[in-house]
C-alpha cells in the first residue's frame, strides 16, 4: 500500500531516487524525469514528493510490485 505523502519514506525515496529499481517502463520514464528535475533544481523536495505521490496513486494497482519494492523493501528497511 502507498504511504501517505507525509510519510518519511517519501523523503528517503526522493533523496535516493537514482538508486530506485522499478520494472515498469512508465515508472522508469517518470522517475527519470523526476531525477532530472531534482538534479536541475527545477522543483523543491516537497514538489517532487507531490508529483511522485500523485503518479504512484494513479497507478497503484498496475505498479503494485514496484511500490512494494520501493517502500517495503528499500525505503522501508533503511527507515526502520
Partner 1 sequence: MKTVQETTDLIRAGKRLVIAGDEHLLAQLPRGEWIGGTTPYFMGEEGGLFSRELLQVSELPDSVVSVQTSFYDVRLLHRIPHDYHTSGFSFIVIPAFSEVHHAFAKDCSSWPDVFDRPLVGWVAGVELSEVGKVHPKVFDGVTGVSSESKALALHAELPEDIYARACIVNLFKAGTGDVLHFPERGFEVTECYVNNFKHNFADYLIANKIDTREPLVANYMGAMVNVGIQHVDAEARKVTLYAPVFPEVDYRVAVPVEDYAVEFNKLLETGHTKDVVFSCNCILNYLYAGLEGKKTGQMVGPITFGEIAYILLNQTLVYLTIEKM
Binding site for partner 1 (CB under 8 A): 20-33, 35-36, 39-40, 55, 58-59, 61-62
44 phi and psi angles, rounded to 5 deg: -85, 175
Distance in Å, CB of 15 to partner 1, minimum: 15
15 phi and psi angles, rounded to 5 deg: -65, -30
Task: Decide whether 41 or 80 has the Cβ nearer to partner 1.
Answer: 41
Task: Decide whether 6 or 54 has the Cβ nearer to partner 1.
Answer: 54
57 phi and psi angles, rounded to 5 deg: -65, -45
Residues 31 and 66: beta-carbon distance below 8 Å? no
Distance in Å, CB of 71 to partner 1, minimum: 16
Amino acid at each position: 500500500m502507498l504511504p501517505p505523502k507525509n510519510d518519511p519514506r517519501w523523503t528517503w525515496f526522493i533523496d535516493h531516487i537514482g538508486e530506485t529499481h522499478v520494472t515498469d517502463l512508465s515508472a522508469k520514464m517518470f522517475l527519470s524525469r523526476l531525477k532530472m528535475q531534482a538534479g536541475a533544481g527545477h522543483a523543491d523536495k516537497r514538489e517532487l514528493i507531490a508529483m511522485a505521490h500523485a503518479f504512484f496513486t494513479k497507478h497503484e494497482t498496475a505498479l503494485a510490485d514496484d511500490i512494494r519494492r520501493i517502500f517495503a523493501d528499500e525505503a522501508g528497511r533503511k527507515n526502520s
